[in-house]
Amino acid sequence: MNASKPSSDLNAEILALKKERDAVILAHNYQLPEIQDVADYVGDSLGLSYRAQETGAKTILFCGVHFMAETAKIINPAKTVLLPDLDAGCSLSDSCPADMLRAFLESNRDKDYYVVAYINCSAAVKALSDVICTSGNAARIVSRVPQDRRILFVPDQNLGAWVTEQTGRPMDLWQGNCHVHVEFTRESIEKARAQYPEAKVVAHPECPYAVRLLADEVCSTEKMVAYCRESNAKTFVVVTESGMLHRLRKEVPGKVFIPGPTDNCACSDCRFMKMNTPDKVVAALRHGRPEITLTENVRRAAEAPLLRMLEWSR
Ligand code: 13P
Ligand code: SF4
């Protein structure tokens, strides 16, 4: 596929290939605008998990990062799950390797941890967990954990701290974080506030404490759409990955969305999310690869905490 093809040609090609392969395209809110525009569904990790569970299509082309496509495969072992670029990983997921978590749990057996894993982790880490959560349901999930159990929350220390602020439930936090969200600082957001005094600041819970404190709203990417639509404000500083701006501008017309700045940069890209391109989307549909594969042992062990999450958050 030629990158310079007009978008109508691209759309027609993708539509034809989708039919041929009986495929559905699921895309995360951080994907490139051209990819969001050809997807059947665009959303956050929670919405995407439900769509992956519900789809009747034989093939899921997952435009997001590796752990998201893996999640779709965990709950759909009989389907073909494609990811446009297999190297589209996640720095947060990488900050909690399964062997480190296993060793930690073994050396802390006496604590009998109930492991709550944020969905941004590998299938092998999910397999070691009791329940999964996303930024959209984390407080609800944590509040359902039996009161007599001590919680280990992996891998995001910022999201974990935010959940404790919301629920009052103390948790031991794995010290992982996301390379995009830790770049936002108190100084960078204070500057944006001074520049746009009329704006509401909306931030993702993966941001550090000082940034969350400065925000008018802290929520998942999906809830950002609802918040901005329902708010009386006309201008918003959006403190998360840049892909979010496309969805907001499209679905909340007539309002102004400013990318949250960091100390070095006016807008933030996740280098993994941006590895997927329209060319790679077409190639994946045409050739039926790269495909996500999992050993049945890991898949089965990862499925239980994931299904528990889907049930608890309904
Ligand atoms: P959401 O589930 O809020 O979309 O977040 C996913 C993510 O990777 C944030 O960095
Ligand atoms: Fe992972 Fe951060 Fe990219 Fe989200 S934005 S996929 S947490 S590296």
Q: How confident is the model over 142-157, as pLDDT tens digits?
A: 999 999 999 999 999 9
Whole-angstrom distance, CA of residue 273 vs CA of residue 31:
6
Question: Which of 26, 44, 67 to mutate to test ligand 1, by most ligand atoms within 8 A of the CB atom?
Answer: 44
> How does DSSP classify residue 182?
G
Q: How confident is the model over 1-49, as pLDDT tens digits?
A: 334 466 788 889 999 999 999 999 999 999 999 999 999 999 999 999 9
**Mean pLDDT throughout 69-93?**
97
* Alpha-helical segments (H) within 113-220: 123-126, 138-143, 157-167, 186-195, 209-214
Q: Tokens 């072992």, residue?
A: 77
Q: How confident is the model over 107-138, as pLDDT tens digits?
A: 999 999 999 999 999 999 999 999 999 999 99
Q: What is the mean pLDDT of the chain?
A: 96
Residue 6: per-residue pLDDT: 62
pLDDT > 90: percent of the chain: 95
| pLDDT above 90 (res 314) | no
Q: Which residues have CB under 6 Å of ligand 2? A: 65, 90-92, 120, 178-180, 206, 241, 270, 272-273
Q: How confident is the model over 206-222, as pLDDT tens digits?
A: 999 999 999 999 999 99
**Mean pLDDT throughout 49-72?**
97
Q: How confident is the model over 228-240, as pLDDT tens digits?
A: 999 999 999 999 9
Q: Which atom of ligand 2 is nearest to the CA of 178?
A: 2
Question: Which of 63, 67, 135, 269 to mutate to test ligand 1, by most ligand atoms within 8 A of the CB atom?
Answer: 135
| Adjacent-strand bridge partners of 239 | 203
Q: Ligand 2 centre from 185 Cα, in Å?
A: 17
Closest ligand to the CA of 66: 2
Q: How confident is the model over 161-176, as pLDDT tens digits?
A: 999 999 999 999 999 9
**Mean pLDDT throughout 43-65?**
96
